[in-house]
Structure 1
Amino acid sequence: MSVMPDNSLASAQWGSTPNPRLAGARPQVPAADQTLRILSLLARQPGPIAARTIATQLGVPRSSVYHLLATLEEHGFVVHLPAERRWGLGTAAFELAGGYTRQQPLAHLGRTLIAALADRAGESAHLAVMTGRDVLYLVEERAPRRPALVTDVGVRLPAHLTASGRSMLAALPREQVRALYPDAASFADRTGRGPARPGELRDLLREVRGRGYALEDGEVTLGLASVGVAVLDHIGWPIAAIAVTYPTDSARDAGTLAAHLAPVASELGRRIGGARR
């Protein structure tokens, strides 16, 4: 007759399963544990890293790392950059991040800030997050006597065409952008304007980084332009973006509008535990 260990006996008595970490035991599903550790490691990096780096940092055999990465790549959670022999997060990981963002109080925390921004700027303002190659709008505040926009709550638009999306793409590692937009087939079009090739997007994002904010003019809706600024987390990763949209013929100065956006992005980042801009 075998004797049940004390922690198992307690588990049986109280109807709970002991945490293997707390009990000092090995994970009951090593592959799942290693997979989650790989994703967590990639999420903490400023850019894609080599498989051998993953194996070394996690203490996992390199052969196992390659098998797990291949499975993650098949499901879109990681991407392989053959030229650099590195691995980074894929679009499915962005989907998870967007799902978390939608379920946590980002929209609630940002709503009053976006409303105040629309009042100060006198233009419609919105808050969006990245999800794959799209932006998803979480909050919109329409300014008085301004036209209705396509950026309503729950709407998705191609990130490379929007000021919100461009501000977030400009804050991503260049390798990550290249993985999201590997060729011309990756670029959607709405009005015949905007980047249509990886090189054009690369040049545009270089301008965004140099300027400190993103612009779009007629690429989402003809006759309307937008200015966007990214909200960054504690390691500089873009977790959201805020933007204002205005009629092209209103002669608004983009730099002045961006000056309204910057402190709002900083405050929202502070509220959700990110870094100040």
Structure 2
Amino acid sequence: MPKGPAKTANSVDKDERYRAPALDKGLDILELLSEQPGGLTRAEIGEAMGRGPSEVYRMLERLVARDFVSRSPEGDRYALTMKLFILAHRHPPIRRLVARAQPLMDAFSVAAGQSCHLVAPDRDAAIVVAHASPPGNWEFGIRIGAHIDLLTTSSGHILLAFQDPHSQSEAAARWEGTRQASAREKLESILTGYRDLGHRVGPSQQMRAIDDISVPILSPDGYAIAVLTCPYILRIDDRQADIDQTLALLKDVAAKLSLS
């Protein structure tokens, strides 16, 4: 498994000083179940956490009672509910941004004949918070709620290119001595180019035959608060905007959403 950033003696002492074992146990369960769409039994949860089934029983019962976790009708399997997703989307800045962005994104998809998605930063990653599809029979998109990597995606690169200094320094401290730090350093000249251009247009780093178009949504200080990305697909069976026209349409949406 990949190792996280090395901790200093002071950070370890601070972590230990403020430990809340019951809370840690509950958060460990939520994080574990977030990676298991089919759920896990109590025994499987205990085994994955290195704890006996009885140790996680009370915590699971509280998570079920608070509706963060659901129990299967048979009573032997636990899975996440939608509550965490709902809570995340109650966060006012994201909720307001999505409310403003969705009609503009829908109009873009109609005009360009392409899908697009809105990505917001989420600590050392990013999360898809909105999506729009073009009319017709075909579409390509990424699901809302998906976490994406900052270092290996078009949206992530634009977030890094336009990242505010405070977030940069925090990330540098967390990544110090890790592979992420080395990868981030190698990207610097590329990110500088994206800052100068104000966007990224280039091959997808996950899928072939797709060109990602990514543009930042900016704060008044010129830093990215979110990114709009269009996974551009060149179709041969219908009329659509070309890639330059699509970039212009996406930039227009980003300009309307940016804070001046």
> Shared fold (TM-score greater than 0.5)?
yes
Distance across 1 between alignment mates of 2:246 and 2:216: 14
Alignment of 1:130-145 (within 5 A): 130-143=121-134, 144-145=136-137
Q: Which runs of 4+ in 1 moved over 6 A?
A: 248-252
Is 1:242 the equivalent of 2:224? no
Residues 102 and 138 in structure 1, CA contact (< 8 A), matched pair in contact too: no
Aligned CA-pair RMSD: 3.6
Taking structure 2 as the reference length, the TM-score comes to: 0.55
Indicate conservation of the 8 Å contact 1:98/1:129, yes or no.
no
State the alpha-carbon separation in 2 of the partners of residues 262 and 103 from structure 1. 20
Q: What is the letter of the counterpart of residue 186 of structure 1?
A: Q
User: What SS does the aligned partner of 1:105 have?
Assistant: helix
- Deviation string, structure 1 residues 175-231 (Cα, Å, up to 9, x no partner): 8446536456228xxxxxxxx722331122111012210234231223322111111
**Does 1:225 pair with 2:211?**
yes
Q: How does 1:190-201 map to 2 (within 5 A)?
A: 197-201=183-187
Offset, 1:145: 4.0
Residue number among 90, 104, 108 corresponding to 2:99 in the alignment: 108
Q: Which ranges in structure 2 are unaligned for 5 or more consecutive residues?
A: 1-9, 19-87
Identity within the alignment, %: 18
1:185 to 167, 179, 188: 179
Matched ranges for 1:125-274 at <5 A: 125-143=116-134, 144-149=136-141, 151-173=142-164, 176-177=167-168, 179-180=170-171, 182=175, 185-186=179-180, 197-247=183-233, 254-269=243-258, 274=259
Structure 1 residues 30-179: aligned runs within 5 Å: 100=91, 104-143=95-134, 144-149=136-141, 151-173=142-164, 176-177=167-168, 179=170
Give how far 1:101 is off.
5.4
Q: 1:216 to 1:154 in 2, by over 3 A?
A: farther
Question: What is the distance in 1 between the residues matched to 2:178 and 2:229?
Answer: 26
**Residue 153 of structure 2 contacts residue 204 of structure 2 at CA under 8 Å; is this kept in 1?**
no
1:114 partner SS: helix
- AA matched with 2:101: G
Structure 1 residues not aligned, in runs of 5+: 1-66, 76-96, 188-195
CA contact (8 A) 2:164 2:224 kept: no
Return the letter of the residue paired with 1:185. Answer: R
CA distance in 1, matches of 2:243, 2:194: 13
Shift of 1:174: 6.3
**Matches of 2:113 and 2:208, distance apart in 1:** 20
Higher relative contact order (CA 8 A, sep 6+): 2
**Distance 1:116-1:202 versus aligned 2 partners, 3 A rule:** same
* Structure 1 length-normalised TM: 0.52
- Superposition deviation, residue 136 in structure 1: 0.8
Counterpart CA distance in 2 for 1:119 and 1:204 is 31
How many Å separate the matches in 2 of 1:200 and 1:174? 18
The change in CA–CA distance for 1:201 and 1:100 in structure 2 (over 3 A counts) is farther
Q: How many residues are paired up?
A: 173
Amino acid paired to 1:134: A
Name the SS of the counterpart of 2:151 in structure 1.
helix
**Aligned CA distance change for structure 1 residues 178 and 206 (closer, same or farther; 3 Å):** farther
Moved more, 250-259 or 165-174: 250-259
